[in-house]
Structure 1
């Protein structure tokens, strides 16, 4: 079956403080380039969502006929909805440029599990005590999973989920797994990895640079 990759790359990167996330460099290569390189071996084509102001910059950076671009929205969920509107393949992989270390074996495991359950995501077992801001214990170590990207899923399930939501968006930004649940699919988890870093803050970027230095 045909598989398309959907890549979220429209984030402003406010917390990181390095400008738009897609163009933050890691060991000389942008997060956008790294994410595209990770996805292409596993899919037939990729649709990338970037901010309108960055469209030409992104197209100049990624010159591959298998990669198309769409303008992102003001929210993550809105951007995903625009990506979904352009998708045509029955199976999709939703990824984000802030996860530059998604391994090929993870993509294979996600697709294998998604074919069984309809959707699959990496889940990293939480190893810490989790508290509310007021100090009340929420979960002990091992009780919850930290969801990661990418997510592999059936296109029809995501479309059905979005059809239940208003066209003009929501007050909050729902989890994509909640969207899939609204479409009748409960996401199954495959083992995640601490190496599959999410780059959100300057500390995250430093950890990613250190990891690359160790594996160089």
Structure 2
């Protein structure tokens, strides 16, 4: 069964100051999204990789590697959910089957590895629903009391709580139906749309290295991690 990667890359990254969206910031010699795409291209189980960008995005083609399995779709919307929805429709228009698997991954999670992608596929390819990479919540969870100064008002139990990551893997038609039925403003990830249909996605153990670049410190951490991996690969060659 074909497996497609869909990478929404139409956001502006407003929480990360700079002269360009975070997916086009450079780390370890390439744009953030280029590292992300390379991990999926290096995973032999993935048949196609589609990056969904905003209409008229002139940066994408210059930032991404040329590859026969890579496509750019100028189908981005105002929200992540809209971008993914329009990307799924684009895939169908390009000949993807409604029953194909789709891996949706954040462009800004540039430290994802082919091994992690392959692990999710292996865990979910025979699952009736699909699933996502995630991590059990490791830290104490505080509830904020709003005011002029943020204060901790309560400590919440963390048992059974997981931090959702990506990729998130679902059948194309199921995910598209879930997103079309939901209010895009209420959907923070694909799994939340699937859950609203009464389905329960599988939780597959992820990695702390698969973080999303959101703040300036994240860029420095990604730079160090990607540079270390590259140095290790050169030493092993």
Q: TM-score, normalised by structure 1?
A: 0.88
| Aligned residue number for residue 103 of structure 2 | 93
Query: Is the partner of 2:59 in helix, strand or coil?
Result: helix
Would the aligned equivalents of 2:81 and 2:179 in 1 still touch at CA under 8 Å? Answer: no
Would the aligned equivalents of 2:187 and 2:193 in 1 still touch at CA under 8 Å? Answer: no
Structure 2 CA distance, aligned partners of 1:193 and 1:170?
28
Aligned residues: 211
Query: Is the partner of 1:203 in helix, strand or coil?
Result: helix
Would the aligned equivalents of 2:22 and 2:108 in 1 still touch at CA under 8 Å? Answer: yes
| Aligned residue number for residue 206 of structure 1 | 220
The answer to whether structure 1 residue 66 and structure 2 residue 77 are counterparts is no
Structure 2: gaps spanning 5 or more residues: 146-152, 232-237
| Aligned residue number for residue 53 of structure 2 | 50
The answer to whether structure 1 residue 125 and structure 2 residue 129 are counterparts is no
Tell me which stretches of 4 or more aligned residues in structure 1 moved more than 6 Å. none
Structure 1 CA distance, aligned partners of 2:3 and 2:101?
5
| Aligned residue number for residue 150 of structure 2 | none
Would the aligned equivalents of 1:8 and 1:49 in 2 still touch at CA under 8 Å? Answer: yes
Q: Report deviation, 1:70.
A: 2.2
Query: Per-residue CA shift, 1:117-143, capped at 9, x if unaligned?
Result: 421111112111111112212224x54
Q: Report deviation, 1:192.
A: 1.1
| Aligned residue number for residue 22 of structure 2 | 21
Larger radius of gyration, structure 1 or 2?
2
Would the aligned equivalents of 1:161 and 1:182 in 2 still touch at CA under 8 Å? Answer: yes
Structure 1 CA distance, aligned partners of 2:30 and 2:202?
32
Q: Report deviation, 1:28.
A: 1.0
Structure 2 CA distance, aligned partners of 1:6 and 1:196?
17
| Aligned residue number for residue 82 of structure 1 | 86
Query: Is the partner of 1:13 in helix, strand or coil?
Result: coil
Q: Which shifted more, 26-35 or 63-72? A: 63-72
Aligned residues: CA RMSD? 1.9
Structure 1 CA distance, aligned partners of 2:203 and 2:166?
11
2:117 is aligned, of 107, 110, 114, to 107
Structure 1 CA distance, aligned partners of 2:186 and 2:193?
13
Would the aligned equivalents of 1:117 and 1:186 in 2 still touch at CA under 8 Å? Answer: no
| Aligned residue number for residue 149 of structure 2 | none
